[in-house]
Chains A and B, each alone.
Chain A
């Protein structure tokens, strides 16, 4: 082995930041969004020759172009946020709940069933409360089952919750066949279209006012639960180290089951909101992959429910905008997904620059961002 070493400093080094002021962290995040827009602009121009500014305008149009569109955007963001809030305690406990899809579906099925069988027989406020309750219970059951298996036999919760999704999809298919209307359509159709029994009433003069109210209460409630309660503290300890939790005298099985009941119940409630507060029908696509998208919402926000509000809106905005530019400029869906991908990549990537800083060759310890 001969001594063959260059005498130069490496070109680039990475050092962990000791700390970073909050304004700087936010500046980096905002810069990352700007960079993302520039990159996708370049991409759009390279592929289509369209003016990127026009395309961005169209995206904004798609999401907030009219009052109706704005409310649909808000409704969808609330839905995503609700699921994210449900996932937060589970993931904070490092319990990989990949089963939100199934929890939403069983919550939705329970809601739809009550809507069909009790619509018109009970006053709407009573029916709504009843539907909320059964959706919570159904979701909680779907969450508890994998938790019990993990607590008792140490099964892997990721696989378990994932497989529970397929069970839920099959149950939903069965329900759709059972409640088919009109016969032969292979859909449930809009439930109680004439009577609107069991539909969310208008609140503040808005169709989706109640959706916003429910999710807003959950946002604040979950924030307080995780940060200030004894149970929230237990979740944090278990998530960090199961050994430490045992050492502290925390019963792991109890915390697993309790937390997954809460997580599943909130996801079930999201099913209730989706059925009674938005689509007024049930199908296997009621969850529509949002149970997975919400995982990104929960993690990106580091389980802070207020940050989740921002991220939910961003994701829904991107999705609405993507659909709009796809139709308006005859770009196909994939082009818009690329843009979404670029933007998410930049935002997630910005976290790296918040954690670490780069030092270039020849630069002394300037410590600049």
Chain B
């Protein structure tokens, strides 16, 4: 299949892109946010239809108008967000929507699933319900689903974003088996070391245009980044050492039960210091969300927990950011976000769910800037002048790409949404800054901007808690890393000396007490 040229949409997402996908090869598709990778692949899988150009499969021009057309052409896509029915088993999910002659035969389906698994080295129990599965198992089901439908061309959209290093390795083994079987694999990813490890060829998109493709063996991460960004970029993450570190936050015996009754955090105890970035590592869903929300006053803690905030001493550089109080520490448990702010705690929180929690999607930048400060001033009217000025400042300093300030933030691309959110939170001059997956889905350039901003906060003496998923980044950026596993603190390691394997093991293995319980 070769020779695709297309432009798309009112905004040009892909401009005259030619892309070749070859059988028996793993192709990495690289590009910054909004460079049109996903759009391009969505056209292959029948979700969008190209406005210009043509798609050739096996030398023949085809029109892919729906996902069904794509399946008929043996093209399958595994999306970033899984599309599985929780209450059904793996086998039921896999045959869902298929119209096979002779009605539904789950036994035969299960046998075929086992056969596919055997061939490529998957581990799937066809009888297992999806809600019992880990993220990596769900992903496996998605891949098997596509193979079951006979796909020869597989497209994976950021498959490793949710996996641990060990799980990633397993996935890569499977992909290599597929390659050996003659299938064509396209993988979209932001992680350069993975690109180097798994792919045979790399194609680069920049701002919707096709830049070129290179054989992986003939390139380097640095060269690829330069291609992607269009200029030379430094790939080293800075890690300045701040001499004076003062205790800022003490968490003691924090347990949290979710609304569903699941114990999400179990006796978590740790300290965070000003002038330090504390990383939080863990498989997704290990309690990271609950931890940050409990500190921010959005989750109620079980009795016996303490979250003590220590205001900066008068001689600290961040002292001016905090209303001076005589008390040595402030208990945050039992307070809501407004009460926490009222006692003078200057806390910034960049939540994981950017549009669902951190921002109001239907509002423009200025109205989002005043989300936490709209109460300022007397009288019933909201003063929009400061927020408009702040929106302008954030737009210029963080290079937010938006048609106009009043454009609803929902319409912006993921990276720009994050810049708006981070910009607002940093503008509040925090003494404690918490970020959840701050660079998820962001391109290299934007990610480095975020790292730089976090380091600036750290140098100014703020305590930074950085919940991340990419271990390479955690190990390079943070001072210490706290590892969560199923709600337990499995250890706190020094990020300057720890290895990736060490952290990876801590992420998956429960402590002794946990095993007995």
Binding site for B on A (CB under 8 A): 1-10, 13, 15-19, 228-234, 236-237, 240-241, 243-244, 246-251, 359, 364-365, 367
A150 vs B111: C-alpha distance when bound (angstroms): 50
- Whose C-beta in chain A lies nearest to the C-beta of B410? A240
Smallest beta-carbon distance A9→chain B, Å: 6
- Whose C-beta in chain A lies nearest to the C-beta of B370? A233
Smallest beta-carbon distance B179→chain A, Å: 22
Cβ of A229: which chain B residues have Cβ within 8 Å of it? 380-382
The answer to whether A230 touches B380 (Cβ under 8 A) is yes
B374 touches A (CB below 8 Å): yes
Q: Which of A13, A240, A243, A250 contacts B49 (CB 8 A)?
A: A13
> Lowest 6 A-B CB distances belong to which pairs?
A249-B338, A249-B337, A18-B10, A243-B357, A230-B382, A240-B360
A10 vs B63: C-alpha distance when bound (angstroms): 8
Smallest beta-carbon distance A288→chain B, Å: 34
The answer to whether B356 touches A243 (Cβ under 8 A) is yes
B367 touches A (CB below 8 Å): yes
Cβ of B72: which chain A residues have Cβ within 8 Å of it? 1-5
B2 touches A (CB below 8 Å): no
The answer to whether A246 touches B337 (Cβ under 8 A) is yes
- Whose C-beta in chain B lies nearest to the C-beta of A4? B72
Smallest beta-carbon distance B8→chain A, Å: 9
The answer to whether B150 touches A1 (Cβ under 8 A) is yes
Number of A-B contacts (CB under 8 A): 105
The answer to whether B380 touches A15 (Cβ under 8 A) is no
B371 touches A (CB below 8 Å): yes
B359 touches A (CB below 8 Å): yes
B96 touches A (CB below 8 Å): no
Chain B contact surface mostly? loop
The answer to whether B358 touches A17 (Cβ under 8 A) is no
Cβ of B380: which chain A residues have Cβ within 8 Å of it? 229-231
B210 touches A (CB below 8 Å): no
Smallest beta-carbon distance A236→chain B, Å: 7
The answer to whether A240 touches B353 (Cβ under 8 A) is no
The answer to whether B51 touches A244 (Cβ under 8 A) is no
Assuming the A-B contacts A1-B71, A240-B360, A243-B357, are A233 and B374 also in contact, with contact meaning beta carbons closer than 8 angstroms in the complex?
Answer: yes
- Whose C-beta in chain A lies nearest to the C-beta of B354? A244
Cβ of B61: which chain A residues have Cβ within 8 Å of it? 7
B349 touches A (CB below 8 Å): yes
The answer to whether B11 touches A244 (Cβ under 8 A) is no
Cβ of B360: which chain A residues have Cβ within 8 Å of it? 236-237, 240-241, 244
The answer to whether B10 touches A367 (Cβ under 8 A) is yes
Smallest beta-carbon distance B36→chain A, Å: 16
B323 touches A (CB below 8 Å): no
A148 vs B62: C-alpha distance when bound (angstroms): 59
The answer to whether B11 touches A18 (Cβ under 8 A) is yes
Q: Which of B9, B71, B341, B357 contacts A244 (CB 8 A)?
A: B357
A197 vs B341: C-alpha distance when bound (angstroms): 55
Cβ of B412: which chain A residues have Cβ within 8 Å of it? none
Q: Which of B7, B71, B371 contacts A248 (CB 8 A)?
A: B371
Supply 20 A–B pairs (Cβ within 8 Å), ascending by A: A1-B74, A1-B150, A5-B64, A10-B49, A10-B65, A16-B10, A229-B380, A229-B382, A233-B370, A236-B363, A241-B356, A241-B357, A241-B361, A243-B353, A244-B358, A247-B298, A247-B357, A248-B372, A365-B51, A365-B52
- With A8-B63, A364-B52 known, 18 other A-B pairs at CB within 8 A are A3-B57, A5-B63, A5-B69, A10-B65, A16-B10, A17-B10, A230-B381, A230-B382, A231-B380, A233-B382, A236-B367, A241-B361, A243-B356, A244-B356, A244-B357, A247-B337, A250-B338, A364-B51
The answer to whether A237 touches B10 (Cβ under 8 A) is no
B34 touches A (CB below 8 Å): no
Give the interface size class of chain B. 35 or more
- Whose C-beta in chain B lies nearest to the C-beta of A234? B374
B18 touches A (CB below 8 Å): no
Cβ of A251: which chain B residues have Cβ within 8 Å of it? 336, 338
Cβ of A18: which chain B residues have Cβ within 8 Å of it? 10-11
A5 vs B357: C-alpha distance when bound (angstroms): 44
A244 vs B360: C-alpha distance when bound (angstroms): 7
Cβ of A364: which chain B residues have Cβ within 8 Å of it? 51-52
A241 vs B362: C-alpha distance when bound (angstroms): 10
Assuming the A-B contacts A17-B10, A367-B10, are A228 and B381 also in contact, with contact meaning beta carbons closer than 8 angstroms in the complex?
Answer: yes
Most chain B beta-carbon neighbours within 10 Å: one of A228, A231, A233: A233
A10 vs B68: C-alpha distance when bound (angstroms): 14
Cβ of B64: which chain A residues have Cβ within 8 Å of it? 5
Query: Which residues 424-451 of B sit at the A interface, judged by CB distance below 8 A?
Result: none
B351 touches A (CB below 8 Å): yes
- Whose C-beta in chain B lies nearest to the C-beta of A365? B51
B187 touches A (CB below 8 Å): no
Cβ of A365: which chain B residues have Cβ within 8 Å of it? 7, 51-52
A231 vs B375: C-alpha distance when bound (angstroms): 9
B73 touches A (CB below 8 Å): yes
Cβ of A5: which chain B residues have Cβ within 8 Å of it? 62-64, 69, 72-73
A257 vs B448: C-alpha distance when bound (angstroms): 45
The answer to whether B371 touches A237 (Cβ under 8 A) is yes
- Whose C-beta in chain B lies nearest to the C-beta of A8? B63
Cβ of B338: which chain A residues have Cβ within 8 Å of it? 249-251
A8 vs B370: C-alpha distance when bound (angstroms): 50
A4 vs B63: C-alpha distance when bound (angstroms): 11
Cβ of A359: which chain B residues have Cβ within 8 Å of it? 51
The answer to whether B49 touches A249 (Cβ under 8 A) is no
Query: Which residues 293-347 of B sit at the A interface, judged by CB distance below 8 A?
Result: 296, 298, 336-338, 341
A359 vs B49: C-alpha distance when bound (angstroms): 11
The answer to whether A249 touches B336 (Cβ under 8 A) is yes
Cβ of A230: which chain B residues have Cβ within 8 Å of it? 374-375, 380-382
Assuming the A-B contacts A7-B63, A241-B360, A365-B51, are A249 and B381 also in contact, with contact meaning beta carbons closer than 8 angstroms in the complex?
Answer: no
The answer to whether B341 touches A249 (Cβ under 8 A) is yes
Smallest beta-carbon distance A91→chain B, Å: 14
Smallest beta-carbon distance A68→chain B, Å: 41
- Whose C-beta in chain B lies nearest to the C-beta of A13? B49
Smallest beta-carbon distance B180→chain A, Å: 23
Query: Which residues 53-84 of B sit at the A interface, judged by CB distance below 8 A?
Result: 57, 61-65, 69, 71-74
A248 vs B421: C-alpha distance when bound (angstroms): 13
Smallest beta-carbon distance B433→chain A, Å: 15
Cβ of A228: which chain B residues have Cβ within 8 Å of it? 381-382
A228 vs B363: C-alpha distance when bound (angstroms): 14
The answer to whether A244 touches B63 (Cβ under 8 A) is no
Smallest beta-carbon distance A224→chain B, Å: 9
- Whose C-beta in chain B lies nearest to the C-beta of A359? B51
Smallest beta-carbon distance A185→chain B, Å: 48
